[in-house]
């Protein structure tokens, strides 16, 4: 089984993506996560370009590295500057890493137009820079920037640039499709030409401007490349870099190469979502392998088949990459989808098929009214339990009043006044908020937390409103989706009404009821586990 070295550049190239900015603390957290995943190299940044990256390198050495080598990134020396006088190279050495990655120009057009120097001087820059770093006893990776475009324009010079890097003692030569416009057949042909001239181990660094970075990386490996550079979730400038979350499982599961330590592939989904969270970027649900919808089945025929034989509609087992199968219950579902979901929720369903059809009928009627349960599975579970007669409401509502007050030159203040009957007692309370929903949430908590203390741990993490029938203007029906968390779990609930407050109320109550239900399920699981341990 051939080993492919994974070089992660999320902390440098990935942060060049629009909307991504990582603090030093963020970068340290991501670096530790990548090391745990088991990549071979983590590129930390460019210590000569900004104080933040230099601070990162000064602290990253204290991390308990187990799998990865930390690499510092920089460029060849400046034109007409001695290597020992180049400040960027001095910063690279001071970064204290055992591996450095240097990029150099391989496209004659760039040499002349961007660097404003001669082709011969550029080759000297490559030769002398790598030689200088090898004298410091460092592992040197040479990123041949714009190599494929350079090769198409002037193959002789592009190869001469690589030969200069090889002569200087580079440990790796990485062929870069920097503009991301090459096609797989071009990548294949060029690498075959390069391998006839270059004996140094090769790598590939692809960008995704043609939506081909993953394909180009895979075909490069098939042509003998041993190192793949990319980023988690494909983060990067313009259209992004090659997505390691797709490359790694394709190489390991489909092509039989070894990329990560044995068993670590199951950490891929966790890593993908963690990095997205730190970067404050929304992970697309339909992202292959690691997306929430990557193994989600909505159509009734699909759900029925996959519940019997997963390979009918899944190209791999989701567990192999740490993801999970999801059966979506909607108006497109069949009774088998409902039964699968009920089993997943661990609800006892007597007369299974008959009750499944009853539940499905209710779901379809509610979705016709505007509800959706694909993104609100907590509301779905509560609905099923209500139909089964297993639901116990938190309280009975006596009355609720919401007041918005707008004063001149001041922000609007919202106040919610609620009267509830809880556990046989009448509770009358009021609370303010920065909006009507926030005031409602605060008033409900104030009334209920004395009876249900675990609600103190729960908080709303997202709130979305969608207008369902735009032609009705301000009188349109709306759907509210609320996402809630309690530190260990995340769940979503839905409400629908012509009144946005009523829709929010429905979703909010579902959220609180599910929080308590979830706590009860966790307690039962722990009790069962403890009993099993005691019995053993």
What pLDDT was estimated at residue 412?
Answer: 84
Which of 221, 252, 279 corresponds to the end of one domain? 279
Q: Are residues 332 and 243 in the same domain?
A: no
Question: Nearest-CA neighbor of 220 among 204, 199, 196?
Answer: 204
d(CA 355, CA 85): 79
Beta partners for 404? 414
3-state helix, strand, coil in the chain (%, to 5): 45, 20, 35
| CA gap 354, 425 in Å, rounded | 39
> What is the C-alpha separation between 100 and 59, in angstroms, rounded?
17
* Tokens (6 digits) for 56: 């990162």
Tokens of 131: 């030689």
In eight-state DSSP terms, residue 253 is I
**Domain stop point among 279, 314, 335:** 279
The reply to whether 377 falls in a domain is no
Measure the CA–CA gap between 512 and 451, rounded to whole angstroms: 13
**DSSP of 311-372:** GGT-SS-GGGGT---EEPPSTT--HHHHHHHHHHTT---SSHHHHHHHHHHHHHHHHHTT--
Tokens of 449: 């937390």
Same domain? For 459 and 310 the reply is: no
Q: What is the pLDDT of residue 411?
A: 81
Same domain, 342 and 465: no
> What pLDDT, on a 0 to 100 scale, did the predictor assign at position 353?
57
Q: Which of 73, 105, 70 is nearest to 89 (CA)?
A: 73
pLDDT digits (tens, 9 = 90+) for 446-490: 999 999 998 988 888 888 888 887 666 666 789 999 999 887 788
Looking at the structure, tell me whether residues 309 and 230 fall in a common domain: no
Instruction: Give yes or no: residues 191 and 335 share one domain.
Output: no
Tell me what pLDDT residue 354 has.
64
pLDDT at residue 311 in the model: 83
DSSP E strands, 231-357: 296-297, 326-327
- 286 assigned to some structural domain: no
Q: Would 388 be classed as within a structural domain?
A: no
Do 124 and 168 belong together in one domain?
Answer: yes
**Do 401 and 353 belong together in one domain?**
no
Indicate whether 101 and 144 sit together in one domain. yes
Q: Are both 350 and 321 inside the same structural domain?
A: yes
- Closest by CA to 11, choosing from 344, 32, 404, is 32
Q: What residues contact 139, with CB distance under 8 A and at least 6 apart?
A: 69, 98, 99, 100, 171
| CATH number of the domain where residue 451 is located | 3.30.160.270
DSSP state of 81: -
CATH number of the domain that residue 104 is part of: 3.20.20.70
In-domain check, residue 149: yes
Question: How many domains does one find in the chain?
Answer: 3
- 386 part of a folded domain: no
Centroid of chain to Cα 91? 32
Question: Torsion angle of alpha carbons 227, 228, 229, 233, nearest 10°?
Answer: -150
| Calpha distance 12→57 (Å, rounded) | 12
Position 334 scores a pLDDT of 53
pLDDT of res. 163:
98
> Is residue 391 situated within a structural domain?
no
Count of CB atoms situated within 10 Å of the CB of 475 = 9
Residues 255 and 320 in one domain: no
496 domain residue, yes or no:
yes
Of 511, 494, 475, 501, whose CA–CA distance to 414 is shortest?
Answer: 501
Ordered mean pLDDT values, 10 residues apiece, the chain (536 residues): 96 96 94 98 90 92 95 95 93 95 95 92 97 97 97 97 98 98 98 98 98 98 98 97 98 98 96 90 91 80 72 92 78 57 63 66 80 80 82 88 84 91 92 91 92 89 82 76 86 91 93 87 64 64
Supply the range of the domain harboring residue 342.
296-368
Q: Give the closest residue to 363 by CA, choosing from 328, 326, 335, 330.
A: 330
Domain membership flag for residue 509: yes
Say whether both 260 and 339 belong to one domain.
no
**One domain, residues 157 and 259:** yes
Neighbouring residues of 348: CB distance < 8 A, sequence distance ≥ 6: none
SS3 (DSSP) at 341: helix
Q: Which of 368, 386, 404 is the last residue of a domain?
A: 368
Q: pLDDT tens digits for 37-87?
A: 999 999 999 997 788 898 999 999 999 999 999 999 999 999 999 999 999
Q: How far apart are CA 452 and CA 429, in angstroms?
A: 16
Give the closest residue to 206 by CA, choosing from 20, 341, 375, 13.
Answer: 13
Distances from the Cα of 223 to the Cαs of 129, 220, 312, in angstroms?
29, 5, 32
User: Which residues share a beta bridge with 144?
Assistant: 104, 175
């Amino acid at each position: 089984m051939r080993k492919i070295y994974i070089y992660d550049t999320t902390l440098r190239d990935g942060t060049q993506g629009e909307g991504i900015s990582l603090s030093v603390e963020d970068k340290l957290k991501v670096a530790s996560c990548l090391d745990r995943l088991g990549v071979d190299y983590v590129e930390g940044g460019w210590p000569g370009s900004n104080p933040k990256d230099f601070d990162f390198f000064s602290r990253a050495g204290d991390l308990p590295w187990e799998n990865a080598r930390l690499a510092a990134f920089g460029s060849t020396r400046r034109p007409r500057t001695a290597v020992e006088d180049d400040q960027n190279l001095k910063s690279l050495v001071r970064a204290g890493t055992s591996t450095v990655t240097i990029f150099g120009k391989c496209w004659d057009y760039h040499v002349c137009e961007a660097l404003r120097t001669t082709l011969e001087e550029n080759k000297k820059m490559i030769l002398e820079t790598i030689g200088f770093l090898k004298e410091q006893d460092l592992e040197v990776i040479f990123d041949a920037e714009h190599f494929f475009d350079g090769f198409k324009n002037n193959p002789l010079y592009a190869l001469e640039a690589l030969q200069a890097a090889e002569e200087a003692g580079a440990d790796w030569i990485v062929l870069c499709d920097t503009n991301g416009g090459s096609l797989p057949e071009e990548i294949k042909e060029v690498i075959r030409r390069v391998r006839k001239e270059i004996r140094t181990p090769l790598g590939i660094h692809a960008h995704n401007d043609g939506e081909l970075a993953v394909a180009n990386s895979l075909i490069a490996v098939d042509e003998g490349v041993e190192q793949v550079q990319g980023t988690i979730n494909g983060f990067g400038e313009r259209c992004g870099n090659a997505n390691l979350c797709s490359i790694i499982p394709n190489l390991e599961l489909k092509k039989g190469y070894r990329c990560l330590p044995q068993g670590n592939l199951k950490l891929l989904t966790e890593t993908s979502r963690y990095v997205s969270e730190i970067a404050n970027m929304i992970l697309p649900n339909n992202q292959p392998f690691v997306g929430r919808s990557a193994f989600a089945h909505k159509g009734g025929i699909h759900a029925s088949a996959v519940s019997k034989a997963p390979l009918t509609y899944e190209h791999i087992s989701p567990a192999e990459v740490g993801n999970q199968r999801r059966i979506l219950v909607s108006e497109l579902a069949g009774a088998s989808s409902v039964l699968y979901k009920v089993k997943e929720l661990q609800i006892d369903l007597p007369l299974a098929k008959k009750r499944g059809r009853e539940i499905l009928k209710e779901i379809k009627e509610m979705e016709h009214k505007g509800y959706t349960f694909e993104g609100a599975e907590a509301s779905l579970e509560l609905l099923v339990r209500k139909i089964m007669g297993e639901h116990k409401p938190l309280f009975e509502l006596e009355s609720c009043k919401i007041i918005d007050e707008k004063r001149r030159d001041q922000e609007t203040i919202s106040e919610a006044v609620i009267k509830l009957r809880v556990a046989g007692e009448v509770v009358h309370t009021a609370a303010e908020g920065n909006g009507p929903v926030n005031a409602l949430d605060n008033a409900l908590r104030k009334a209920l937390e004395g009876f249900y203390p675990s609600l103190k741990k729960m908080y709303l993490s997202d709130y979305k409103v969608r207008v369902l029938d735009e032609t009705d203007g301000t009188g349109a029906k709306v759907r509210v989706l609320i996402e809630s968390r309690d530190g260990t779990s995340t769940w979503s609930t839905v409400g629908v009404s012509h009144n946005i407050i009523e829709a929010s109320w429905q979703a909010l109550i579902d959220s609180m009821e599910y929080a308590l239900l979830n706590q009860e399920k966790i307690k039962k699981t722990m009790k069962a586990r403890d009993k099993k341990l005691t019995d053993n």
